[in-house]
Structure formats: C-alpha cells, structure tokens
Amino acid sequence: MKQQIFGLLIAASLSGCAGSVKEVSCAGLDWEDFGYQTGKKGKSVRTFDPYRDGCGENLEPGAMNQYLDGYTRGIIEFCTYENGYELGSENKALPDVCPTELKPAFAKGHSVGIIEFREKLSKLKRFNEDEASMQERTSAEKAADTSYGK
Amino acid sequence: MSIRRTVLAAALFLTYTFSLSEGTAAAPQFEIKLGKPEFVLPQFTGPYQEREASIALEEYETAERLRELLDAGKRQQVLAELEKFYSIELSPAMLMLQAQIYFSLEMYDKAEATYLEVLKRMPQLIRAHSDLGQLYLVREQPQKARHHFARAVALGSNEALVHGQLAYLNLTQYGPYSAISSYQQAAALEPDNFQWQQGLLAALIQARMYDAAEALLDEITARKPNMPELWLNKATLALHKEDYRRALTSLEMALLLGNEDQRNLQTSAKLHLQLGSYDRAMALLEKSFGRNDFDIASVTEYFTWLSHLELWDDLKKLLDIAGKHLDKLKPAQQSRYYLHMAQLEVQRKRFTQADQMFNRSLNLDPTNGECLLAYAEFLTKQKDYIRAELLYMRADALSSVEKQAQLGRAQLYIEMQNYKSALELLRQIHQKYPDSAGVKDNIEIIENIIALDKSNDTKLR
C-alpha cells in the first residue's frame, strides 16, 4: 500500500488578507487522472500549485509529469468550440485556461454563445415588453368598455 | 509576415569514403557538427496555422524580454523564465524555443520531452518534426530521426537540410533508390551545396545508375577540379565500366592531388602492372611499402603476377624493396616473402640459394603449405627424393593443400619409378576425390605399366 505523505501549506486567499492551512496528498494519488479531471472541468493547471509548493521534495517522483499528461488530455477535451458555446450561451465568463492553439475555437464558440444568449435575452425582454404593453392595452380597453357601458 | 523560426545551426556534413579495391563507393559517413546556435524568436503572426506555430498575443511582451536575454547570451536565464510556467501555459512556439535552448545546451532528455510535448499539441508542426529529427541524429537514433524527417517532408517542409538528412537516412537504412529523390530535392533547393551533390552521387553509384552518376560527376568536377575525392569517384565509375585506362588516369589525378590512401596506391600499382607500365607500378609500390599500413597479401599478389609474366628483374626489384621492410612483417608474412625469393632463385638457377630461402621460409612458418609444395617440387627436380617425400607428407597433413600434396607425392613416386606406391596413392586420391580430372586416366596408365613390367619380368625368366 502506498504511503500517504501529506504536505502543509499556507494558502493565501485572493484578497491576501487571511491565510488558511490546507493539507495536500503528496503521494499515492492517480496523478494522471487527477490532471485529466482537472483539465476536463476547465480548471486552471495551477490547481497543482499547492501540491508542488506544499510537498516540495516529498512530491512523488513523476507526479507533475503525470499530472500534466492527464491535464493536457483533459484540457484539449474541454477547450472545444462546443464547450465555449455552452459557456457563452449560459452567459458564463470565458475562462483563461485554454492553450494558445485551442483558444481561438473555444473563444469563437463562447462569442457565438454569448451573442445567442443576448439575442435570447433581448427577445425575452421584447416579449415581456410586448406582454406588458398588451396587458396595458387590454386593461385600457376594458376600462373604456366599462365606462362606455355605464 | 511569415514566422521567423528559431534556427539551430546544426549542420550535417557528409564525408565520403571510397573503396577502390572493392570497386564500389561506400556509403557516406556523416558527422553532425553543432555550430553556435542562433536564436530568432517567433513573432506574432495573427491567423493561426496548423503547420506553423506563432506566439500568443499575450506572450509578446515576454517574448521581447526573452529576446533581449538571448541576445545577451543568457540562455540559462531564459530557461529559468520559461520553466516558471507549466508547459501547457506556454504556446507551442514558446515551447519550441524552450526545446531548442535545451537542445543547444545539450540537455537532450529535456529537449526531447519538450519537442514531444509540442507534437502532442500540434502533431503537424513541421519545425518540431525537423528539430526532433535533428536531435535523434545527434543521439544516434537514426530510425526515429528518419521518422520525423519523413513527417516533416510529408507535411510540406521545403528545407534542403531536411531533405538531405532524410536522403542520407534512407540511403543508410533502405538503400539508394529511396534516397535519390530526396537528394535531388535537396540539391534543387540548394544547387551550390556540395554535400547534396556528393550524397546524390553516392546514391546513384550504389543504385548502379552509372551514366547518371558520371554526368553528375562531370558537372561537379568541372566546378571543383582540385578535389581528389571526385577523381576517385571517376576512377570507381571507370572500374565499374571496366575502362581500366580511364580508371588509372583518374586515380593518378587523385594521387597527384594529394590522396595517398594505401589501398588506392596499391590499386593504382595493380592497374599499372595490368596495363604494362611497370616502372610506374614499381615506383608506387615502393612508396606503398614505405608505409606502416602496407598489406603483404596484396604484395604477394604482385609477386605471383610478375612470376607469371616471367618479369624476373621486376620481381627482384620488388622483392628487394619489400626486403627493406621485413621487420614490419609477421613471421607468416616473412615466410611468404622468402618463398618468393626462393622461387626467384630457382628461376635464376641459383639452386643453393633457393634451397636456403625455402628453408628460411619454412623455419618462419612450418605450416606454409604453398612453400612445402614448392620446396618439394624443387627437390624432386633436384632428384632429392627422400627430402621431397618428407615435405609432401608434411603438406599432406594440411587440409588446404592436402590434395596437391598427394598428387605431388604420386608424381614423385612415378619419377622414382615406384609405380606400386604411385598407384596405391592415386587410388586413394580417386576414392577421396572421385571428380578429380585425370586421376582415373593416370591410374589406368600406371596399371598398364605395372602389367607390362610383370609380363616383361615373366618373359625374362
């Protein structure tokens, strides 16, 4: 059974104000799968930083290369036109994780998604406006009918 | 603006060796000389192209900084900058730069891993294939090198160096036909590059396309008349065509231009002997003998040659020259020398001296079968039958001359009129070598002689 080695690091929060102690596993992980899953979910390659920095020499030999092999496979699967489009159509921000050569297609998908999202949004807005004005008209007509009837 | 690539000033130098004695041009040998690397950073090119790599827009600033460091020769510092990133964070163009710096610093494992990383991301990147081919050449992995050069060419590489290297690797791994076209391509791209012409020439000669090779050679020789290698090639081609006079002229030209290869000297001498210009042959052989690498086996070939032509004076001259360098010879080689001395003395009818020389030869190499036979034959002629018989019996024990020894001994018995022993021996020979021409006829003749003798004896009684 592989020995579990843990590393400690102080992970500074983004604001840089507070620090928290986090424990990471330095050996025994399926590094390639870990990298693959990280890449496939579109997370940053820097997810590995805590392991690299926290474990130092305790990091299992070859861990980083295995992680990167897996990550590269994962990120290639993630950075597609379709996934960009999906993110864009949900009005999600374009993540800066894709390698240069995949970025154009991914960003293009994202832009198309964003445009469609905006079109949908404006359609919806127009629809809502139309609905509102229709309702207004209907109410006004009803009011007029009532007064005429009276 | 098209991308400017980082160029590794690695050059392939083809050298060419010749083997005139075998009559064929050997495969060229190559050495890779890594020159001073010249780095040219890739530049942003806008549209993304699959077969070339450009740096990302956001890397432009970093690239400019790295360029300054490279210009200042701070390659380690550039590496340190690049190593701060995970490989996936760098564009293939920047990764290529990193790989090339590893390569130039002879960090071959890292260079290989980085090139492979680039190819994982951009499998059609021509530059990565050609650089990786180069790297594998340096690491003496020619099959891998060939694979990547072939990929680079298949993807459209139009660099003479890539075509030339592929041609060389094809020549050494798959033979001349697979190399000719690539060499032609390289020569077409760089018509003044001598390496490609030499490579093409080697491939044409190996493919036995002598007319094409000769035409190419004429063209090159006209431009570089002072290169001995070219004249050696001409000589090789002439030998292939059995045009010995032209071969000799070309060979002499090569010698005149400074080629002093031992084998070429000897081949030249041999051609002179064949064409009857003995004085020049002697002069060349004398020059050849004076060197440490001279080959007694080829010398004895000339002794035999001169003996057959009965050019005793020339043989004497040659033996005298060889005699000055006897100390460089092994005992078995000295034994052959004395054998020829003995044969010369026999021709000059100086039998006492001949006897001494035969003895000296056998003392130096008691298993010199040729000498045993020649000495026995000499003694037979001198009617010294007892010693001759002993020598034939010694030779009989040597498988290389066993049959000749037995036939010689049979002849000796006939000379001694010992027909019974001769018949017995000839029957043994016939049994062992049934296909030997004439043995059966001789048996019949001797049987008749014995029968005739018997009938004469009976009549006399």
- The first and second tokens of residue B351, run together, are 């039998």
- The first and second tokens of residue B254, run together, are 């090569």
What pLDDT is recorded for position B359? 96
Q: Is the pLDDT of residue B296 over 90?
A: no
**B267, B251 Cβ separation under 8 angstroms:** yes
Q: Is the pLDDT of residue B10 over 50?
A: no
Asked whether residue B372 is assigned to any structural domain, the reply reads no
**Do residue B121 and residue A99 have CB atoms under 8 angstroms apart?**
yes
Q: How far is B1 from chain A (nearest CA, A)?
A: 19
Coil, strand, or helix at residue A12?
A: strand
Q: For A43-74, what is each residue's pLDDT tens digit? A: 999 999 989 888 888 888 899 999 999 999 99
What pLDDT is recorded for position B441? 85
d(CA B372, CA B391): 6
Going by pLDDT thresholds of 50, 70 and 90, the confidence category of residue B282 is confident
Q: Which of B87, B92, B93 sits opposite A68 (nearest CB)?
A: B87
Question: CA end-to-end span of chain B, whole Å?
Answer: 122
What pLDDT is recorded for position B12? 23
What pLDDT is recorded for position B22? 30
pTM: 0.58
H helix or E strand, kind and range, residue A122: helix A103-149
**Do residue A99 and residue B53 have CB atoms under 8 angstroms apart?**
no
Q: For A63-118, what is each residue's pLDDT tens digit? A: 999 999 999 999 999 999 999 999 999 999 999 999 988 999 999 999 999 999 99
Average pLDDT over residues B269-287: 84
Asked whether residue B198 is assigned to any structural domain, the reply reads yes
Q: For B184-228, what is each residue's pLDDT tens digit? A: 999 999 988 888 888 898 899 888 898 899 999 998 898 889 988
Domain boundaries, chain A: 1-78, 79-150
- The answer to whether residue B122 neighbours chain A at the CB level (below 8 Å) is yes
What pLDDT is recorded for position B267? 86
More confident residue, B294 or B353: B353
The CATH number of residue B138's host domain is 1.25.40.10
Q: Is the pLDDT of residue A20 over 50?
A: no
In chain B, residues 86-115 whose CB comes closer than 8 Å to chain A: 86-89, 91-93
Buried-state track B154-189, b at ≥16 Cβ within 10 A, e below 16: ebebebbbbbbbbbbbbbeeeebebbbebbbbbbeb
What pLDDT is recorded for position B11? 25
CA B32-B36-B42 angle, to 5 degrees, is 105
Nearest-by-CA chain B residue for A102:
B121
Going by pLDDT thresholds of 50, 70 and 90, the confidence category of residue B43 is very low
Q: Is the pLDDT of residue B360 over 50?
A: yes
What pLDDT is recorded for position B24? 34
Taking phi first (over 0 means left), then psi (-120 to 50 degrees means alpha), and beta for anything else, what does residue B109 get?
alpha
Q: Which of A71, A101, A102, A103 to mutate to test the interface with B (most CBs of B within 10 A)?
A: A101
Q: Is the pLDDT of residue B460 over 70?
A: no
Buried-state track B218-239, b at ≥16 Cβ within 10 A, e below 16: eebbeeeeebbbbbbbbbbbbb
Going by pLDDT thresholds of 50, 70 and 90, the confidence category of residue A137 is confident
Domain count, chain B: 1
Q: For B130-175, what is each residue's pLDDT tens digit? A: 999 999 999 999 999 999 999 999 998 888 999 999 999 999 899 8
Asked whether residue B125 is assigned to any structural domain, the reply reads yes
Torsion angle of C-alpha atoms B245, B251, B252, B258, degrees rounded to 10: 180
More confident residue, B392 or B64: B392
Average pLDDT over residues B53-76: 83
d(CA B172, CA B6): 29
Mean pLDDT, chain B, integer: 82
- Residues of chain A positioned with their CB less than 8 A from the CB of B114: none
Going by pLDDT thresholds of 50, 70 and 90, the confidence category of residue A149 is low
**Domain span including residue B37:** 1-208
Q: Is the pLDDT of residue B294 over 80?
A: no
Asked whether residue B384 is assigned to any structural domain, the reply reads no
Question: CA end-to-end span of chain A, whole Å?
Answer: 91
The residue type of B329 is: L
- The first and second tokens of residue A38, run together, are 């990280």
Going by pLDDT thresholds of 50, 70 and 90, the confidence category of residue A13 is very low
Percentage of residues of chain B with pLDDT beyond 90: 38
What pLDDT is recorded for position B292? 64
Count how many pairs of residues, chain A against chain B, have C-beta atoms within 8 Å.
35
Task: Give strand pairing partners of A25.
Answer: A6
Asked whether residue B262 is assigned to any structural domain, the reply reads no
Q: Give the count of beta carbons closer than 10 Å to the beta carbon of residue B33.
A: 10
Average pLDDT over residues A127-150: 83
